[in-house]
A and B are shown apart, each in its own frame.
Chain A
């Protein structure tokens, strides 16, 4: 059977599709056109929130560690949180740059590649920020104690800080192990992927691989 032989059958679809009387584009009402909102608006809003929140964190932390340069634990905590804020800003800016390049009227391969890149970036930055948040937790504790109560927690109760450092490292290791298990696939892997990222990792990888394969073929 040849593809060209099937063209006549394909064309017979025209007649049948015209019977789909319920689809009447001339009835594009206001509510329908309102529905045609920019689908990437939530992503754009998310990126702007990231940049704003990250920028705020950077400015607060910069003031904090500059003011506490004489206390090593406060200085390190402030710098760690400062870096975390910068990470959030970078994640938001990259997201924004990709979104700015997305346009439905672009050639299909170009547009689909940007969408897949955006999705992959969202998943990766989510994972990195999640890990960063766990790692930064002891720094939040030390900086919080210093700015709220004026107490150097590391000097006063180092045990509390050490326990929290171990807890955050354990949480990070646990997340990495689960994440690697999720990437390996299988029933447990896909359950973990669904649990951790709602199938995002798998989907992002599959979409990018598919576009690469199509471009290479």
Chain B
């Protein structure tokens, strides 16, 4: 068992720097699995804290982002399976999190509509397919996706093909968009 408290100040500084650098990754994963600003924030903090706890075991010869994606996705999927069902009764969906935040955003109604379609589609997928979608949207190379998920590159190609098909069907059914 590794304890964060065992880390020295240098390691903590290194970790903080790496976390800031990859802050976007944590937020995107939290956004894929949690709904509502407070849940997204809680999950993001949980991911950051668990990455911190696992940091002493990080092998520096490997890419930090790959290692962090694994932890972030594992924490988020477990959170979705255990924590989210408990919260669903008390915390309503917060559409405001993804509503336009400024005038420049408000003008982009087409972009918002697309984002809504994408969100709806993501929500309709199981946790593992959400992970594939996230990595694809983040344009991670297939080799890295395979390393993160533990699935072969050929099976990921098939899965992404299926997800594309499902998206077409989803957009047509729910939004009348081809």
Contacts and interface: CB of A to CB of B under 8 A. Distances in A.
Contacts of A38: 1, 53
Interface in B141-163: 147-151, 155, 158-160, 162-163
A111 interface: yes
Q: Is the interface of B mostly helix, strand, loop or mixed?
A: helix
Interface string A174-214: 00000000000000000000000000000100010011001
Interface in B112-161: 114-115, 117-118, 126-129, 131, 133, 136-137, 139, 147-151, 155, 158-160
Interface in A114-147: 115
A148 interface: no
A149 interface: no
Interface residues of B, number: 72
A106 B74 contact: yes
A108 B23 contact: no
Interface in A75-122: 103-112, 115
Contact of A7 (B128, B137, B164): B137
Contacts, number: 156
B16 A26 contact: yes
A16 interface: yes
Taking residues whose C-beta sits less than 8 angstroms from the other chain, chain A's interface range is 35 or more
A33 B44 contact: no
Contacts of A112: 74, 77-78, 127-128
Given A25-B23, A36-B46, A104-B54, 16 more contacts: A1-B172, A2-B167, A2-B168, A3-B137, A5-B114, A6-B118, A16-B105, A22-B41, A23-B45, A28-B49, A37-B53, A104-B70, A105-B67, A107-B148, A203-B81, A217-B162
Interface of A: 1-3, 5-10, 12-14, 16-17, 19-20, 22-23, 25-26, 28, 32-33, 35-39, 103-112, 115, 203, 207, 210-211, 214-215, 217
